[in-house]
């Protein structure tokens, strides 16, 4: 379990803190969602949880970050990477570009860890299977669609067998088909035991897969609860969060004087 | 800080020692041999200087931090982009434009500025190796590898100038500062041109010009060189006045020094290996020098002394523009980034990103 | 725009089966030897033994010849023009109006052309028979740092990417009315309008790739696992050292003037 307790973070040279006293828990096998408007601090929180901030981008951090009770704030990045991995926005920018095939791309992570060759192959095959892209094994990663590349990136991270996976806007740039592929894979990953933290602007995606959702605004976590509770709440619009489609429909029907409950019957 | 000075001094001492010793030991009776010897001496002296620097640091601290610092993950990710930039730009200019500049060091100088002299040198070296052995056919040049030592020298110099803050924006300079800056750098420019011409003339004396030497071509070339120098000086003053950025003066200086050094190292390689031609627009200039009565080595040196400083000045300006377009926080994360940003007490550091 | 082709590496032949490091040593050795040798005869002999023979072995003779010639052609032409037509010292052999062709000029041009052909051939031979990933795996196997091999490999991969992006930007800018023909000033502006977004987007991407690499354990000290181990053998090891020794001897011979070529 990865736990952040009272964590505040300031970017290097930043005038003020981007995150204020954030407390968050990622339990194995659960999918936690992060909702929030742009610039609310979702991406920063992902970077901090994954250890990339402050290690790779600098800045100052205050608070506790523990892994099963052990403080990890002083662990070097490559050590932390065996337990927590992060996927960023834009899959194309995360490809290593040194892999001829998807298999090689996925094997990059475990190979970096120096595992024996059979272990590297086994983990890569397992990751390809978990994410459902075995048929892409011999393809050139740069020639794939955005959704497929996102899956390749996730498989590459999973091949490291981390217990925690942090995803920053995994479906933001994907079409409906791509989103569906990725969300199905995320569910499979969590079912297999990984703890997932998923930041998304698209509320519908969060509503589909998350076990719980935290709302980030101005660097604070301002609300927490089940997806329905949080995302259907009227205050979410005030925080700049995208309204769920059925809520929008419900609201419009009420406004027009029609029966909003017909929506519940349909969904 | 004195530790760092000791290292640098040590490296420079070894470099100078081997360079001088090599040249006196191997030098032949005339200037042409001296040129070849210079390049050969550089091939040995530059790596030796770097190794000496590393050795001293290791003895001082049991680590090689000032070197490994230059090669953090961020630099390692930038280097390939820079290398590709060198190759793509260099190939495009050589094949498409028939002008006597190369524009194949933009990446080298960019990395040198952001990460440090050794990172820049490594970028230049690897670019040349890849250009010959691994680049895909439209971009491949079998003739790049022998010039790797030139790229190393360029990287080392550019990284050092950047470390000295020569690529810092210095906006808001007073009229007086701008005037002094212009005067000094134009003066340095003229001085360097004079030195280069003197070196060339020394080569000239003591060799019989062939019976059919064309005095007119020679005179025309001389005027062309003068115009080029004048043009660069005028361009600098215009930039200073328009941008009100004193950095223009420093950049000019950096470009000219780097260019002259590169010319002296590259000319013997081009002359000795390739009969003075590189398949680019510079070859016309070489032909012109030949027609004017110079022998091969002189012609190539003459051409290099015209092309290289101009090429490097343009390259430094391009790098300055690229840095200007990058966000402050991106630059700051690089090992040498702090030396590329305006000083805290400068007027407009706050609105640099505005 | 179609993707620039990566080397096909050809079929499995004895040459292809060699450790990429061996192939690299042969190619680099040939290049260095071409620098040290003078005289057309010796250079052509070198080309025959070190370039054409392996190329035939690798069944790539035609490709190496054609590509090598094409690459060397512009340079060869320039060499001939500059040195044959514009050389002024030495014994005149023929004259072409005001220009005089000398024996020395022809000899120099011939030597340089031969050298250029050898170097081009050696580089092309290596390029068409070796994939970058193969070479990188071999280098890592032989102990070269993973960071260095990453830079080399990524550097090669970036070249077509950068070029493609430049093409995309050019097309996009043209659609917005960019003028790429015309006078120098307009062309200059055109170049800037294409170069600036290309370079800047490439530089911006480095930040994300840095984070992505770090989270995948890139900075772990020690060697990463190599999945495709090259076919090295003691014979090849001996051959590689042999080439190195030969180059040292060649250098000494050249320096002391003992080289007949």
Q: Are residues B157 and B185 in the same domain?
A: no
List of chain A residues whose C-beta atoms are within 8 Å of the C-beta of residue B333: 12, 57-58
pLDDT tens digits, one per residue of A163-197: 999 999 988 877 888 788 888 888 988 998 999 99
Please, which pLDDT band fits residue C246 given cuts at 50, 70 and 90?
very high
Distance of residue A82 Cα from the nearest chain C Cα, in angstroms: 8
Q: Are residues B310 and B271 in the same domain?
A: yes
List of chain B residues whose C-beta atoms are within 8 Å of the C-beta of residue A13: 328-329, 332
Distance of residue C214 Cα from the nearest chain A Cα, in angstroms: 7
In this structure, is residue B320 part of a structural domain? yes
For chain C, give the percent of residues with pLDDT over 90: 16
Three-state DSSP at B313 gives: helix
Most confident of the ranges B68-72, C82-86, C213-217: C213-217
In this structure, is residue B123 part of a structural domain? yes
HSE, CB side, 13 Å, CA atoms: give it for residue B21: 9
Q: Are residues B100 and B215 in the same domain?
A: no
CB contact (8 A) between residue C78 and residue B132: no
DSSP notation for chain A: -EEEEEEEEE-TT-SS-SEEEEEEEE-TT-EEEEE--TTSSHHHHHHHHTTHHHHTT--EEEEEEEETTEE-TTS-HHHHTTTEEEE-S-GGGG--S--SSHHHHHHHHHHHTT--HHHHHHHHHHHHHHHT-GGGTTS-GGGS-HHHHHHHHHHHHHTT--SEEEEESTTTT--HHHHHHHHHHHHHHHHTT-EEEEE-S-HHHHHHH-SEEEEEETTEEEEEE-HHHHHHSTHHHHTTPPPPHHHHHHHHHHHTTS-TTHHHHH-
Rounded-to-integer distance, Cα C180 and Cα A141, Å: 33
Burial of C54 from C-beta contacts in 10 A (0-12 / 13-18 / 19+): buried
Distances (CA, A) of B217 to B221, B287, B291, B294, C244: 6, 11, 7, 11, 47
List of chain B residues whose C-beta atoms are within 8 Å of the C-beta of residue A47: none
CB contact (8 A) between residue C213 and residue A110: no
CATH code of the domain occupying A2-83+162-232: 3.40.50.300
Is the minimum CB–CB distance between C223 and chain A shorter than 8 Å? yes
CB contact (8 A) between residue B329 and residue A56: no
Task: Reply yes or no on whether the pLDDT at A267 is more than 80.
Answer: no
Please, which pLDDT band fits residue C60 given cuts at 50, 70 and 90?
confident
pLDDT score of B354: 43
Is the minimum CB–CB distance between C216 and chain A shorter than 8 Å? yes
Q: Are residues B135 and B195 in the same domain?
A: no
pLDDT tens digits, one per residue of B280-331: 767 777 777 776 666 777 778 878 887 888 889 888 988 988 898 888 888 9
The better pLDDT of the pair B65, C145 is held by C145
CB contact (8 A) between residue C79 and residue B76: no
Q: Are residues B141 and B284 in the same domain?
A: no
Q: Spell out the domain ranges in chain C.
A: 14-138+230-255, 144-215
Q: Are residues B143 and B184 in the same domain?
A: no
pLDDT in tens, chain B (354 residues): 577 888 888 888 888 888 888 777 766 555 556 667 778 788 888 888 888 888 888 888 887 878 888 888 999 999 999 999 999 888 887 776 666 778 899 999 999 999 999 999 999 999 999 998 888 878 888 888 889 999 999 999 999 999 999 999 888 777 777 788 778 777 777 776 676 666 566 555 544 433 334 455 555 556 666 666 666 677 677 777 777 778 888 888 899 899 989 998 998 888 888 777 776 767 777 777 776 666 777 778 878 887 888 889 888 988 988 898 888 888 988 999 989 988 876 544 444 554
pLDDT score of B212: 39
Domain that holds residue B80: 2-163
Neighbours of A235 (CB within 10 A): 11
Number of domains forming the structure of chain B: 2
Distance of residue C203 Cα from the nearest chain A Cα, in angstroms: 11
pLDDT score of B211: 35
* Nearest C-alpha in C relative to B129: C152
List of chain A residues whose C-beta atoms are within 8 Å of the C-beta of residue B350: none
Q: Alpha helices of B212-294 — where are they, by DSSP H?
A: 215-243, 247-274, 282-291
pLDDT score of C74: 79
Q: Are residues B159 and B74 in the same domain?
A: yes
Q: Are residues B148 and B18 in the same domain?
A: yes
Interface partners of chain B (CB pairs < 8 Å, 3 or more) are A, C
Task: Reply yes or no on whether the pLDDT at C177 is more than 90.
Answer: no
pLDDT tens digits, one per residue of A41-68: 899 999 999 999 899 888 899 999 999 9
pLDDT score of A167: 94
CB contact (8 A) between residue A13 and residue B332: yes
* Among the partner residues C123, C202, C213, nearest to B132 by beta-carbon distance: C123
Q: Are residues B199 and B156 in the same domain?
A: no
pLDDT score of C40: 86
Q: Are residues B128 and B185 in the same domain?
A: no
pLDDT score of C87: 61
pLDDT score of A67: 92
């Amino acid at each position: 379990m990865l736990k952040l307790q009272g964590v505040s973070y300031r970017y290097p040279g930043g005038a003020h803190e981007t995150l204020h006293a954030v407390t968050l828990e990622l339990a194995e096998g659960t999918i936690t969602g992060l909702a929030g408007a742009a610039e609310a601090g979702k991406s920063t929180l992902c970077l901090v949880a994954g250890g990339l901030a402050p290690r790779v981008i600098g800045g100052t951090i205050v608070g506790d970050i523990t892994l099963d009770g052990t403080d990890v704030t002083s662990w070097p990045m490559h050590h932390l990477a065996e337990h927590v991995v992060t996927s960023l926005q834009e899959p194309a920018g995360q490809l290593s570009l040194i892999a001829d095939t998807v298999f090689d791309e996925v094997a990059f992570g475990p190979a970096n860890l120096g595992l024996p060759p059979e272990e590297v192959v086994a983990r890569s095959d397992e990751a390809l299977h978990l994410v459902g892209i075995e048929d892409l094994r011999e393809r050139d990663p740069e020639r794939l669609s955005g959704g497929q590349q996102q899956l390749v990136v996730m498989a590459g991270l999973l091949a490291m067998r981390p217990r925690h996976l942090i995803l920053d806007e995994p479906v933001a740039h994907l079409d409906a088909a791509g989103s569906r592929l990725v969300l199905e894979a995320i569910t499979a990953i969590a079912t297999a035991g990984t703890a997932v933290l998923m930041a998304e602007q698209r509320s519908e995606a969060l509503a589909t897969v998350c076990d719980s959702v935290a709302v980030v605004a101005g660097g604070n976590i301002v609300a927490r609860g089940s997806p329905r509770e949080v995302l259907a709440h009227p205050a979410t619009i005030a925080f700049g969060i995208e309204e769920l489609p059925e809520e929008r429909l419900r609201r419009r029907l009420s406004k027009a004087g029609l029966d909003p409950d017909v929506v519940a019957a349909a969904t | 800080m004195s530790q760092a000075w000791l290292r640098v001094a040590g490296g420079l001492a070894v470099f100078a020692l081997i360079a001088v010793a090599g040249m006196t030991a191997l030098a032949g009776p005339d200037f042409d041999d001296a040129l070849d010897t210079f390049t050969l001496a550089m091939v040995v002296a530059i790596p030796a200087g770097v190794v000496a620097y590393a050795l001293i640091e290791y003895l001082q601290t049991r680590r090689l931090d000032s070197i490994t610092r230059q090669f953090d993950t961020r630099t390692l990710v930038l280097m390939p982009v820079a290398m590709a930039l060198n190759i793509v730009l260099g190939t495009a200019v050589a094949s498409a434009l028939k002008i006597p500049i190369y524009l194949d060091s933009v990446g080298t100088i960019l990395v040198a500025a952001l990460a440090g002299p050794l990172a820049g040198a490594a970028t230049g070296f690897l670019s040349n190796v890849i250009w010959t052995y691994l680049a895909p056919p439209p971009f491949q040049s079998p003739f790049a590898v022998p010039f790797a030592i030139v790229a190393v020298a360029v990287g080392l110099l550019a990284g050092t100038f950047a470390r000295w803050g020569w690529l810092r924006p210095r906006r808001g300079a007073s009229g007086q500062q701008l005037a002094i800056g212009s005067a000094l750098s134009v003066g340095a420019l003229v001085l360097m041109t004079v030195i280069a011409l003197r070196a060339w003339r020394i080569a000239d004396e003591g060799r019989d010009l062939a019976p059919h030497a064309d005095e007119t071509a020679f005179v025309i070339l001389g005027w062309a060189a003068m115009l080029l120098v004048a043009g660069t000086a005028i361009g600098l003053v215009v930039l200073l006045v328009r941008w009100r950025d004193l950095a223009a003066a420093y950049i000019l200086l950096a470009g000219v020094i780097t260019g002259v050094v590169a010319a002296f190292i590259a000319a013997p390689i081009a002359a000795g290996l390739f009969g003075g031609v590189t398949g680019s627009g510079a070859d016309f200039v070489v032909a012109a020098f030949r027609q004017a009565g110079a022998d091969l080595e002189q012609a190539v040196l003459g051409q290099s002394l015209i092309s290289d400083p101009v090429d490097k000045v343009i390259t430094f300006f391009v790098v300055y523009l690229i840095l200007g377009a990058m966000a402050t926080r991106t630059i700051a994360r690089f090992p040498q980034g702090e030396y590329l940003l305006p000083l805290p007490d400068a007027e407009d550091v706050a609105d640099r990103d505005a | 725009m179609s993707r620039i082709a990566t080397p096909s590496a050809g079929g499995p032949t004895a040459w292809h089966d060699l450790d990429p490091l061996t192939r690299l040593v042969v190619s680099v050795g040939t290049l260095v030897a071409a620098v040290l040798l003078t005289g057309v005869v010796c250079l052509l002999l070198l080309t025959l033994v070190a370039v054409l023979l392996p190329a035939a072995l690798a069944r790539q003779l035609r490709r190496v010849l054609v590509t090598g010639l094409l690459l060397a052609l512009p340079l060869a032409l320039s060499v001939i023009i500059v040195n044959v037509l514009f050389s002024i010292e030495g014994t005149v052999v023929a004259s072409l109006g005001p220009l005089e062709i000398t024996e020395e000029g022809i000899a120099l041009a011939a030597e340089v052309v031969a050298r250029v052909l050898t170097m081009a051939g050696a580089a092309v031979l290596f390029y068409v028979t070796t994939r970058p990933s193969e070479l990188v795996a071999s280098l890592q196997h032989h102990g070269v740092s993973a960071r260095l091999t990453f830079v080399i490999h990524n550097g090669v991969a970036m070249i077509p990417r950068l070029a493609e992006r430049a093409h995309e930007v050019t097309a996009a800018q043209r659609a917005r009315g960019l003028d790429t023909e015309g006078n120098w000033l307009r062309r200059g502006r055109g170049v800037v309008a294409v170069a600036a977004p290309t370079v800047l987007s490439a530089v911006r991407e480095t930040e994300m790739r840095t984070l992505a690499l770090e989270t995948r354990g890139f900075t772990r000290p020690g060697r990463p696992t190599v999945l495709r181990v090259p076919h090295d053998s003691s014979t090849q090891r001996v051959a590689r050292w042999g080439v190195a020794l030969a180059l040292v001897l060649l250098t000494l011979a050249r320096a002391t003037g003992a080289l007949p070529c």
